[in-house]
Chains A and B, each alone.
Chain A
Amino acid sequence: MATVVTPRGQPHVDRLDRIWSERPGILGWLTTTDHKRIGILYFFTSLAFFGAGGVEALLMRTQLIGPNGHVLSPAAYDEMFTMHGITMIFLFVIPMTTGAFGNYLIPLMIGARDMAFPRMNAVSYWIFLCSGIFIYIGLASGHAPNAGWFDYVPLASKQFDPGNNIDFYGYGLIFNGISSTAASINFIVTIFKMRAPGMSLNRMPLFCFAFLAVAFALLFALPSLSVATLFLELDRQLGFHFYDSAQGGDPLLWQNLFWIFGHPEVYIIILPAFGIATSIIPAFSHRRMVFFPLVALAEILVAFLGFGVWVHHMFTVGFATITTVYFAAASLIIVIPSAIQLFAWITTILTGTPEFKTPMLFIIGFIIYFVIGGLSGITVAAIPFDQQVHDSYYIIAHFHFVIFGAAVFPILGGMYFWFPKVTGRIYHEGIGKLSFWLTFLGTFFTFFPMHIVGLLGMPRRNYTYPPGMGWTALNFIESIGSYLLAVGLVMIVVNLAVSLRRGPQAGNDPFEGDTLEWSTSSPPPPYNYPVIPTVTSAYPMWDKDDRALDNRRLERGEGVLERGHETPATSAEDAIWDEILTMPSHSIWPPVCALTLAGMFAMLLLQHYFIALGFAAAGALVLIGWHHKGVSE
């Protein structure tokens, strides 16, 4: 049951509309602190980067459609696969999941009116945007990063890569990391302190558990990457020797630091997808998740165990067997929480009355590809086999089934699923299904033959290959598959774009979802809920009494919080009403702050250290302005 505004509730709603209104037009978007508008900004920005990363992938597949291709030069090919990796991971999946989905949905799902730190939320977005543009300026100016997203030294050292290419990578990722760090702190505080009264941790949606796990993982993984890239820039620009074995440094230090970040990163990418799956599956299976507490525990465990497996990216570097065996064991153990979730999803679908609409189809595709990617993942935890196929196309096949099949499919399904909530319109179901089948088959034909090509000995990151190796036909199939996949993805975007104008009205709750966001109007008002909802179960939307109570409380003006930008804070575990928080409103400081940081990193890259210091000082002044304003309000 959705919130119904009766004539007696109307004055309260009018007052809230006045209090929470933001500036109109472009200025409104620049100064917004509304988590939903920030989520939409994240969505379109990361979607644009997804397009760029996709074009890079298509160029590579076109180069490899036959042996001895001449579409890209070797230098251009190296830039393409490096930019593809950086783009898809740092500029698409993370901002799309945490930035767009997390930002938009988490406050709604927990019944809050905004994120805990709305301006920090805004600055996260603007920093992300600036860092993305920063990295792409490298490409536009002919200095794109070109040593792979893994950027192994000494290939990435000044000696072997003297241009600014790697500096765009190094500074770009430090810059980008600030955004993700701020965002994850924001998520952790929001999820622990802003849940609606009554939403104790055991009643929190699994989606939020997944994002909580991701936020913690990001917070602990990113410092390793930032340190690694900082050392890299010190080596490159100031002549330090962290990674120079001739001077007592160690190139494996880079690999260790990078993968200490890089493997948790894989779970950071996939856990939000698990969260989306646990939202879509109950709604379309018309039943509760099987074994809710175990699934929640498994989500947290995956993120935790993900920190103990990084050496499985380094089985061929010559570590002692005892080292590799330990990390192989850890890698096998992580299969168990993944298998728990997998079979909880399957059992929920099996024992419910599943309705195979477009979002659900993407989740079915996700499950199938997650099984394939998971199984091939188990095979590479067998050390001797990994040492055969490491750095071959087998690995590309494996992690694309995981990252594209299992992480992006729920994103696509989630786009369909929450489209009515965000826009108030329904997508076209027939075209939705067609777009699923094209994407599903395209993914299969693009990535499945890569297993075989890898077993036939084709190494990764080769800009071309000779004929007569048994690789030609399979590469041809892969390239055709990638075009099919591109058509499917474009069809999704077109379907949603057309439905935005022409789709039928959605109403509040078109799919009978189980979480709170379906109780408010579509699209939700700036304050999300006219009355702070109360929660007494893990499936608040299926709890009709609670929602009826919300309506009565609105009529009585109880829990409306209409004296300003207000939202309640609750206790971390049991969500008992603690205090009323006054939230900051729109501000121009976040984008200005991001701009000063962009200036600082640009000057660092150009080695104008004093000007960089000037930008840092300007950034400090901005922070003073930001906080000063906060006091005077």
Chain B
Amino acid sequence: MLRRCASGLICLALLSGCGKQSITSTKSPDAHDIALLWWWMLAAAVIVFGGALLLLVLAWLKRERPGLPIFGEREHINEGMVLLFGIAIPIVTLTALFAVANIYLVNRTAPPKPSSTAMTVDVIGHQWWWEIRYAGTSAVTANEIHIPVNTRVNVVATTADVIHSFWVPALNRKVDMIPGLHNRVLLFSSRVGKFRGQCSQFCGLQHAHMSFWVFVDTAGAFRSWLAHEAAPASAPRGATASAGQRMFVTTSCASCHEIRGTGTTATVGPDLTHLAGRTSIAALTLPNTPSALAPWIHNPQAIKPGDRMPDLGLQSNAVSELVAYLQELK
């Protein structure tokens, strides 16, 4: 516990670099500018706070003597202090802040014209996962967005049910997903890597388990990923996986999930065509490993209580057949 406290204190001192979702460990110009704005505001705030505290300390030190030190008991000087600190200085500093933040920076971080971006990704919020579609292709995936490096990507954020909010702190500000609206935000990264995002508008029971990854790939890697993602699933190899596929297609799995190429078409839950290519399941609740997938299929309500995926009451051999099949969906 001591070590945890110490690491917390270090975070306090060096905010940047701690945590996967920090607004200060930025990888895009927009997020960088906002973080810079924050550091400047923090510096100004520390000065103002220090000043106010100093006046209170002074009041305590001279508590026996009425009037101001040096100036003495002159009411117009007291009133001048109120005018100076209460009106004059705030007007100057707030005007400066307004100009930098709300005239200059707000336009820089506004959603760009779609024509100025290289590609569009549709992100659709669901209770409690993210549907991701690439405009102009048949690629559909969930909870893991891939974008090419150094490319301006136009994200169109919508919702299938309640209000969600799309937020990748390292890359840009957040934007709400509201029924009837098509809000947009720019994703851009100058560096290859993976960045964590999370729903930030309360959306019901499993709001806490609604996260996603943004993978920033090299241009070539992205192209081949997208081409693969657009293709239908390959046929299962081996008897167990084939049994798993039959199970998937004929039971209630197919009433919610689609695996392209198998004749399933439901879009209630995430598209599983290339599930095995993802690193996580259930909106980053679990890693995508056989040992995590099996309990998830067996009893999702124990892992994500209230989730839309019901407990299906499957036998354990049925679960292992399904896992064997899903593991093949690279």
Contact = CB atoms under 8 A, between A and B. Distances in A.
A and B, one complex?
yes
Given A328-B102, A384-B173, A352 B78 contact: no
Contact of B86 (A155, A340, A367, A389): A340
Contacts of A529: none
A461 B202 contact: yes
Interface string A524-561: 00000000000000000000000000000000000000
B178 A318 contact: yes
B305 A343 contact: no
Given A251-B178, A329-B98, A455 B15 contact: yes
A473 interface: yes
Contacts of A468: 20
Interface in A281-336: 286-287, 290-291, 294, 316-318, 321, 324-325, 328-329, 332-333, 335-336
Nearest to A243: B179
A188 B165 CA distance: 42
A1 B122 CA distance: 74
Contacts of A152: 162-163, 201-202
B22 A456 contact: yes
Contact of B56 (A251, A316, A367): A367
B44 to A, nearest CB: 8
Contacts of A333: 94
Contact of B198 (A155, A349, A449, A459): A459
A347 B74 CA distance: 12
Interface in A13-62: none
Contact of A350 (B34, B58, B87): B58
B59 A354 contact: yes
Nearest to A342: B86
A347 B78 contact: yes
A343 B38 contact: no
A317 B178 contact: yes
A473 B6 CA distance: 8
Interface stretch (A272-280, A368-376, A402-410, A420-428): A368-376
Given A343-B86, A461-B207, A474 B11 contact: yes
B314 interface: no
Given A339-B90, A343-B85, A391-B200, A321 B176 contact: no
Interface of B: 1, 4-9, 11-12, 15, 18-24, 31, 33-34, 37-38, 41-42, 45, 48-49, 52-53, 55-56, 58-60, 62-68, 73, 75, 78-79, 81-82, 85-87, 90-91, 94, 97-98, 100-103, 105-110, 127, 161-163, 165, 167, 169, 173-176, 178-181, 183, 196, 198-208, 305-306
B91 A336 contact: yes
Nearest to A459: B200
Given A336-B91, A476-B4, A378 B45 contact: yes
Contacts of B109: 384, 387
24 contacts: A152-B201, A245-B180, A246-B179, A246-B180, A316-B173, A329-B98, A336-B91, A341-B86, A344-B82, A346-B85, A350-B55, A350-B68, A353-B66, A354-B59, A367-B56, A372-B49, A381-B101, A382-B105, A388-B38, A455-B15, A460-B200, A462-B208, A465-B208, A473-B5
Contact of B53 (A317, A353, A368, A382): A368
Given A290-B78, A388-B174, A318 B181 contact: yes
B68 A351 contact: yes
A235 interface: no
B63 A356 contact: yes
Given A371-B48, A378-B97, A74 B19 contact: no
Of B5, B85, B87, B200, the most chain A CB neighbours within 10 A belong to B200
B87 A340 contact: yes
A283 B20 CA distance: 51
B202 A460 contact: yes
A470 to B, nearest CB: 3
Given A325-B106, A343-B81, A459-B167, 6 more contacts: A346-B52, A382-B101, A456-B23, A463-B208, A465-B208, A477-B8
Contacts of B75: 290
A321 B202 contact: no
Contact of A384 (B48, B105, B161): B105
Q: Among A287, A364, A473, which residue has the most Cβ atoms of chain B within 10 A?
A: A473
A473 B196 CA distance: 20
A-B pairs with the 9 shortest C-beta distances? A457-B21, A473-B8, A470-B19, A245-B180, A382-B101, A387-B173, A462-B208, A340-B86, A318-B183
A456 B200 contact: no
A465 B209 CA distance: 8
B252 to A, nearest CB: 22
A342 B33 CA distance: 31
- Report which residue of B53, B100, B169 has the largest number of chain A beta carbons within 10 angstroms of its beta carbon: B169
Given A290-B82, A346-B56, A456-B19, A160 B98 contact: no
A250 interface: yes
A245 B161 CA distance: 11
A385 B36 CA distance: 10
A390 B82 contact: no
Contacts of B198: 457, 459
A339 B21 contact: no
A471 interface: yes
Contacts of B101: 328, 381-385
Interface in A411-453: 449, 452
A458 interface: yes
Given A384-B106, A456-B22, A250 B180 contact: yes
B5 A455 contact: no
B174 A371 contact: no
A324 B109 CA distance: 13
Contacts of A384: 33-34, 37, 101, 105-106, 108-109, 173
A228 B60 CA distance: 49
A343 B179 contact: no
B179 A455 contact: no
A355 interface: yes
A486 to B, nearest CB: 20
A464 interface: yes
A344 B33 CA distance: 36
Contacts of B162: 152, 154-155, 160
A75 interface: yes
Contact of B59 (A75, A346, A389, A470): A346
B11 A351 contact: no
A246 B180 CA distance: 7
A73 B176 contact: no
A239 B240 CA distance: 50
B319 to A, nearest CB: 24
Contact of B22 (A74, A351, A364, A455): A455
A155 B204 contact: yes
A224 interface: no
Contacts of B66: 286-287, 351-353
Contact of B49 (A286, A325, A375, A457): A375
B180 to A, nearest CB: 3
A339 B86 contact: yes
Contacts of A449: 8, 12
A469 interface: yes
A570 interface: no
B42 to A, nearest CB: 8
Nearest to A161: B204
Contact of B82 (A291, A354, A389): A291
A250 B179 CA distance: 8
A452 B11 contact: yes
A355 B178 contact: no
A139 interface: no
Given A335-B94, A462-B207, A154 B161 contact: yes
A346 to B, nearest CB: 5
A287 B127 CA distance: 59
A252 interface: yes
Nearest to B206: A74
B52 A332 contact: no
B48 A388 contact: no
